[in-house]
């Protein structure tokens, strides 16, 4: 790198060592320290657990699973909306060394069949129904086609009670013996990534991966046993179960469930009534909360922090969250399922520019670098390239797919994220797009994120996504998909072009605008840009 400037490599340092415990042992530590503090609150049902009560409920379910013949390393699926039983299952499986297979609650029968079959899941715990999803009917439909699946237990159904009744068959010595035989490096979770093409891949994570990642995310926002964390994000994803649940319980904090699935009104009410100190969400969730009729009537004065992650965080939205939701210490996290998930995070004492314009710097014990996607050579700071990360957080691999694992984890142990990033001289990272989302217009590389950030400042724009669509002259042309603040006064193409003309290079200015009511989303809050591209690729342009 001689003569080319400082390399785009950095690593997180800190005085706090990594945790060497299993998830069960860490929970034992926290229960002993804070037995009478609240651990879990379910607002919809009004149920509450102190840490001592939570520990007892986890123990009962762990015994029930053990009494049902669940062995160490067996896969136990959880296919449910957010509820206390989801959290109990997470910790109960960890306590006995079963591998929790987290299934997207939006999955339909054919997707469920693939995940259960690919993972070899033997026991499935599922909701009964939610909105248009009849989980019981879909589970019955696929049961005969999944040879490893021997039992299904539905939450709120006699089959759940039957599972718990088996706890009586297990002695203290049996549960202690199982716990004593576990290693923190054992696989404990399979998370199926929500790919836009092909079948999802099962990122396999260990106790060490996710316990430490949750712990250091919580350390970075300053959690103590006095914090109360409102989690409207889905538990099936790392955002909910790692950054949320494990981030809270590893510090003796309380998890607050506002609703089974995201509801902006229920979220704000839970923050107000439960005096939450922290709130999580993807940008679209915060946008929905800020734009809710009557938003100003909620008392959010208890909030001090929170996490915005899952997809790029618009600067203007972040500023409103800080100003109008009292989240002065709100943090941006960046990562992916395969890295447990967080690699970089902004700090509590960062100025507003860093907390709105970057995704922070490497967490303790994690390395990050930016490389040339074609050659793998580390680039100088300030140059965009592919972000790679290495450390305790990198997954064990994709479940039973060594070839797909080798495509993303190189011989040096670096996880190749597929994200385009720039690392500044201060070590802070900016995400400028996905390699596959980058638009190449007439030979110019265009990063949609830059244009989106700019358009968030337009007074008529509530939300925006920029994608490339085929163009006979330039190869690709720039399309801005806009959700207007007022549907009756949507911005025209002329207004968008005029707004951009003085501030953006000519080749970055959108040549098409489409007004939409909503974006196609994954449950984890990522916009499915491929759907937007496909939807509008063949449609004649209109202003």
Q: Each residue of 32-46: pLDDT tens digit? A: 999 999 999 999 999
d(CA 329, CA 222): 9
pLDDT at 524: 63
Give the model confidence (pLDDT) of 374-428 as tens digits.
Answer: 899 999 999 999 999 999 999 999 999 999 999 999 999 999 999 999 999 999 9
Q: Which two tokens stand for residue 71?
A: 């062995």
Model pLDDT, residue 2: 41
pTM over 0.75: yes
DSSP secondary structure letter of residue 473? T
- Token pair recorded at residue 253: 């904090």
Domains and CATH numbers, the chain: 23-423 (3.40.50.12780), 437-537 (3.30.300.30)
Question: What confidence tier does 194 reach under pLDDT thresholds 50, 70, 90?
Answer: low
Per-residue tokens: 332: 């941006």
| Residue 312: per-residue pLDDT | 64
Residue 197 confidence (pLDDT) above 50: no
What gap in Å lies between CA 504 and CA 476, rounded to an integer? 18
Computed over every residue of the chain, the mean pLDDT equals: 93
pLDDT at 175: 96
What pLDDT is attached to residue 1? 42
**DSSP H or E segment with residue 530:** helix 529-537
Sequence-ordered list of residues with C-beta below 8 angstroms from that of 66, at least 6 positions apart, any chain: 96, 166, 170, 174, 175, 178
pLDDT tier for residue 472 given thresholds of 50, 70 and 90: confident
Residue 515 near residue 454, CB atoms below 8 Å: no
pLDDT for the residue numbered 374:
86
Provide, rounded to the nearest whole percent, the portion of the chain with pLDDT above 90.
82
Edge-to-edge order in the sheet of strand 151-154: 151-154, 123-126, 75-79, 99-102, 187-192, 202-206, 397-398
| Residue 452: partners with Cβ closer than 8 Å, 6 or more residues away | 312, 314, 464, 465, 466
Residue-level pLDDT at 543: 44
Amino acid 74: pLDDT: 98
Residue at token pair 């447990």:
340
Q: What is the pLDDT of residues 350-368, one digit of tens each?
A: 988 888 889 999 999 999 9
Neighbours of 166 (CB within 10 A): 18
pLDDT of residue 474: 85
pLDDT at residue 502 is higher than 50:
yes
Ramachandran bin of 367, using left for φ above 0, alpha for ψ from -120 to 50, beta for the remaining angles: beta
Predicted local confidence at residue 290, as pLDDT: 96
On the question of pLDDT at 542 being above 80, the answer is no
pLDDT of residue 196: 41
Range in 276-285, 305-314, 385-394, 471-480 with the lowest mean pLDDT: 305-314
Q: Using 50, 70 and 90 to split pLDDT, how confident is the model at 540?
A: low
pLDDT digits (tens, 9 = 90+) for 81-137: 999 999 999 999 999 999 999 998 988 899 899 999 999 999 999 999 999 999 999
Q: For the chain, give the percent of residues with pLDDT over 70.
A: 97
Q: Six-digit token pair at 122? A: 């033997």
**Of 115 and 527, more confident:** 115
Contacts of 48 (CB under 8 A, 6+ apart): 38, 40, 41, 42
Q: Where do we find the tokens 């951009």?
A: 500
Looking at 199-354, which runs of residues are DSSP E strands?
202-206, 228-230, 254-257, 278-281, 305-308, 331-335, 342-345
Q: Tens of pLDDT along 308-345?
A: 987 667 778 888 999 999 999 999 999 999 999 999 99
Alpha-carbon gap, residue 88 to 241, rounded angstroms: 11
Q: Quick one: which of 189, 283, 288 has its CA closest to 236? A: 189
Taking 90 as the threshold, does the pLDDT of residue 8 lie above it?
Answer: yes
Task: Give the per-residue pLDDT at 198.
Answer: 59
With CA atoms as reference, report the closest residue to 439 among 507, 358, 371.
507
CA separation for the pair 360, 350 (Å, rounded): 9
pLDDT in tens, 208-246: 999 999 999 999 999 999 999 999 999 999 999 999 999
């Amino acid at each position: 790198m001689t003569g080319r400037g400082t390399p785009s490599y950095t690593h997180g340092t800190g005085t706090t060592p990594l945790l060497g415990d299993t998830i069960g042992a860490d929970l034992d530590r926290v229960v002993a320290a804070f037995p009478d503090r609240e651990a879990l609150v379910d607002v919809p049902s009004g149920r509450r657990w102190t840490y001592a009560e939570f520990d007892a409920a986890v123990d009962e379910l762990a015994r029930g699973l053990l009494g049902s013949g669940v062995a160490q390393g067996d896969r136990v699926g959880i296919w449910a909306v957010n509820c206390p039983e989801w959290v109990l299952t997470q910790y109960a499986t960890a306590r006995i060394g079963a591998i929790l297979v987290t299934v997207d609650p939006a999955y339909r029968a054919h997707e469920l069949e693939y995940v259960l079959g690919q993972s070899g899941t033997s026991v499935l715990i599922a909701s009964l129904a939610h909105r248009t999803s009849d989980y019981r009917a879909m589970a019955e439909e696929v049961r005969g086609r999944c040879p490893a699946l021997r039992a299904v237990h539905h939450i709120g159904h006699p089959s759940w009670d039957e599972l718990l009744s088996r706890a009586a068959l297990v002695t203290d010595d049996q549960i202690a013996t199982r716990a004593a035989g576990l290693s923190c490096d054992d696989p404990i979770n399979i998370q199926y990534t929500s790919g836009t093409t092909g079948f999802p891949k099962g990122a396999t994570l260990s106790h060490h991966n996710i316990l430490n990642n949750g712990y250091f995310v919580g350390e970075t926002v300053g959690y103590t046993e006095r914090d109360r964390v409102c989690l409207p994000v889905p538990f099936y994803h790392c955002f909910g179960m790692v950054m949320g649940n494990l981030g809270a319980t590893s510090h003796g904090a309380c998890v607050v469930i506002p609703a089974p699935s995201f509801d902006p009104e229920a979220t704000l009410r839970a923050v107000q009534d439960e005096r939450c100190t922290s709130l999580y969400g993807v940008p679209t969730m915060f946008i929905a909360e800020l734009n809710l009729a009557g938003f100003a009537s909620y008392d959010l004065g208890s909030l001090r922090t929170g996490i915005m992650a899952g997809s790029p965080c618009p600067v203007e939205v972040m500023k409103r969250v800080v100003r109008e939701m009292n989240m002065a210490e709100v943090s941006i996290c960046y990562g992916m399922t395969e890295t447990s998930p967080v690699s970089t995070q902004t700090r509590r004492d960062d100025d507003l520019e860093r907390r709105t314009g970057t995704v922070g710097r490497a967490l303790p014990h994690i390395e990050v670098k930016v490389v040339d996607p074609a050659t793998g050579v580390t680039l100088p700071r300030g140059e965009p390239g592919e972000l790679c990360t290495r450390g305790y957080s990198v997954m064990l691999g994709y479940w039973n797919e060594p070839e797909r694992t080798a495509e993303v984890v190189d011989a040096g142990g670096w996880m190749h994220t597929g994200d385009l990033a720039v690392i500044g001289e201060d070590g802070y990272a900016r995400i400028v797009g996905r390699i596959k989302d980058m638009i190449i217009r007439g030979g110019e590389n265009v990063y949609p994120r830059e244009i989106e950030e700019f358009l968030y400042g337009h007074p008529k724009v509530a939300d925006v996504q920029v994608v490339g669509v085929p163009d006979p002259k330039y190869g690709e042309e720039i399309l801005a998909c806009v959700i207007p603040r007022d549907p009756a006064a949507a911005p025209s193409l002329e207004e968008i072009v005029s707004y951009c003309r003085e501030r953006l290079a000519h080749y970055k200015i959108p040549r098409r605008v489409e007004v939409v009511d909503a974006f196609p989303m994954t449950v984890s809050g990522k916009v499915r840009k491929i759907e937007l591209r496909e939807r509008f690729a063949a449609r004649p342009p209109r202003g």
